[in-house]
Structure 1
């Protein structure tokens, strides 16, 4: 009995230490939404999608956000009406006084901040219905020939095809790299944003900038599987190669 009494405190201490480490992971995705621009003011923390912010009592009341990851803020319920796309590692931003946020969601993998993943969207600015995954998709199902914007994350490029089963025209898209305090976030967004709306929003090209028509994507494969490589406005990071772009 004496041995058990001695073991239990050690076990509790070990569990407490593990819990503290788990909570203090620096690359955990989150978004803290504040009702004003006071960094010490009240906020609601989001770790997942919210199609209707009235559920959290935050509909049309967000004035400041602090976040890690890629987060989409929409002006209408159920991810309609574009307001802002933030990508950051522990960054904070004040929204404009005219911002109206009624729903929000993140882009990227639900399993890890910098895991390889893609998100396809129906709307021109990451709005509407979504098709997403981390493996090859011979069809994009409900978004077949209905993709107008996309996002990729993780270190792998992705190849997008205009035909089913990886046929037709194809374009390879590589991610950018954002690093802060030793935490990496690879990303690339393709949409229709041309003017900066918030401090973290930069120019994002539209789908046709990839050299394929709008609403033409029908299948997706991991890696760079075509010689048609989109280089964007920054130096290209690789050439056609194996599924990891090497």
Structure 2
């Protein structure tokens, strides 16, 4: 894992590993039975192998805050293809869809470990937020080992980001992506803005072609935010 900190600037390069800092805002409680019953564990950091907790192939329901992904295999399906489902919200709870129940082997969250709605982008080497990842909260002229290897994207916070198919914010194609889901908890004055782009067809740059990212300056193709409100999905 490579980690670069510049005052409040965060750039994480995560190659099948968990970040060194547990999240202060994203958390998931995973239950062994439906309807939030049975044995449970609380997680607020990446777990590449739930077997270490004797909790792999066990999860049937969840209660969570943030953006969490649950994977069929260890290491976030990096080395073996399989299903993944994700859930998003503030104090969201629900049963795992039947086709995914009792099968999760690893899990992780998206975004900053420091604040729920921090402005961040995360790019993944696999579709549906699988594989290696790079996460940051400022312009990135290069994506290092994930340059030309991006197949899915998650953005958090209220800002849009522009993604380029060349280094240094150049290239033939670019696209401006916005958050497309919003969640509020008025009782605790919390909000969560999320943009989920699980395949290249969702962000309209061909697979494995993104090389740099900048806070949006309205350059390139603009994909407007959706008004949908969905909390649980998977493939």
Higher relative CO (Cα under 8 Å, sequence separation at least 6) belongs to 2
Report the structure number with the largest CA radius of gyration.
1
Greater strand content: 2
**Contact 2:178–2:225 (CA under 8 A) maintained in structure 1:** no
* CA distance in 2: counterparts of 1:209 and 1:176, whole angstroms: 12
Counterpart in the other structure of 1:152: 155
Counterpart in the other structure of 1:35: 32
SS at structure 2 position matched to 1:221: strand
* CA distance in 2: counterparts of 1:39 and 1:105, whole angstroms: 20
Classify 1:72/1:225 alpha carbon distance in 2 versus 1 (closer, same or farther; 3 Å). same
Offset of 1:42 from its aligned partner?
2.3
- 1:77-115 CA-to-partner distances (Å, cap 9, x unmatched) read 000133211001101111134421000000111111000
Gaps of 5+ in 2: 1-23, 229-235
* CA distance in 2: counterparts of 1:121 and 1:146, whole angstroms: 8
Q: Cα RMSD (Å) of the superposition?
A: 1.8
Written as runs of structure 1 = structure 2, the 5 A alignment for 1:96-115 is: 96-99=97-100, 100-115=103-118
1:138 paired to 2:141: yes
Offset of 1:207 from its aligned partner?
1.5
Offset of 1:38 from its aligned partner?
4.4
Greater helix content: 1
* CA distance in 1: counterparts of 2:202 and 2:37, whole angstroms: 42
TM score, norm. by length of structure 2: 0.78
Deviation above 3 Å: which 4+ runs of structure 1? 232-235
Gaps of 5+ in 1: 1-26, 192-205, 236-246
